Amino acid sequence: MNPNKPDDVHLHIDADGWCAQAQQLRSPNCDVRADGVAIDLLVIHNISLPPGQYGGPYIAQLFTNTLDCDAHPYFDQLRALRVSSHFVIRRDGSLQQFVSTLQRAWHAGVSQFGERQRCNDFSIGIELEGCDTEPFADAQYTRLCQLSRALQQAHPLLAVTGHEHIAPGRKTDPGACFDWLGYRTLWAADVPSSAHNALPPFVTVAQKTQP
Ligand SMILES: [Zn+2]
């Protein structure tokens, strides 16, 4: 990643929780958040369908319940799955949004952050097209940072974490190839120096889970 790369794109999350600059592909796999719950956690994931293959329409189809599960042997196990994420960042950095940030997307599953369980209730999920064993693209970090800044403007983010950290033993994404330090450095690079402390902490240790 090149942290010196110019980054003058400012994304915006509107009052309805949608990013105008994202391709909107509305997923039915969402529901309302409980009244009064602060949306304060960012959860980073990776996904590729089939695993390790990029560029196809399958992630979007999975999240919109339009995936032909006969199209690839791997998809057979996805038949009963009803999942979504608020955002997907593809390898070229293009941004898709499936669920309003004001609604609950179904990305984290059984999970715990600190004392709080069911992270879907209070988090925003961002999927990077990728896998656990291959570096992510520079364009993805650039877009992720643009999106993170926009989300921080719209929601009182208290922390950023990975799916593997809130569901240890069950999930492994975004994995060891995800460059947490580079992400933080690039995010901070476009924030006025006086406001660096305003970046939410990155919590990249496995959270204790209740039995
Ligand atoms: Zn995940």
- The pTM (predicted TM-score) of the whole model is 0.94
Q: Which two tokens stand for residue 50?
A: 């089939």
- Domain that includes residue 28, residue range: 23-203
Residue 125 CA: distances (Å) to CA of 18, 148, 157, 211: 13, 11, 13, 24
Is 192 inside any structural domain?
yes
Is 7 inside any structural domain?
no
Is 17 inside any structural domain?
no
User: In the chain, helix, strand, coil percent, each to 5?
Assistant: 25, 20, 55
Euclidean distance between CA atoms 198 and 70, whole angstroms: 47
Is 70 inside any structural domain?
yes
Q: Which residues contact 185 (CB under 8 A, 6 or more apart)?
A: 3
Q: Output the CA 45–ligand 1 centroid distance in Å.
A: 4
pLDDT at position 197 is 60
Number of domains in the chain: 1
Residue 88 CA: distances (Å) to CA of 21, 193, 209: 13, 29, 27
Q: Output the CA 174–ligand 1 centroid distance in Å.
A: 7
3-state secondary structure of 129: strand
- Ligand 1 (ion): which residues have CB within 5 A? 45, 163, 173
Q: Which two tokens stand for residue 98?
A: 């499936």
Q: Active-site residues: which are they?
A: 127
Residue 94 CA: distances (Å) to CA of 62, 119, 127, 143: 18, 26, 12, 8
Q: Output the CA 183–ligand 1 centroid distance in Å.
A: 18
Is 30 inside any structural domain?
yes
pLDDT at position 8 is 65
Is 177 inside any structural domain?
yes
Is 109 inside any structural domain?
yes
Query: Domain holding 92: CATH number?
Result: 3.40.80.10
Q: Output the CA 84–ligand 1 centroid distance in Å.
A: 10
Please list the ranges in the chain whose pLDDT falls under 50.
1-6
Is 142 inside any structural domain?
yes
Q: Which two tokens stand for residue 208?
A: 């204790």
pLDDT at position 194 is 67
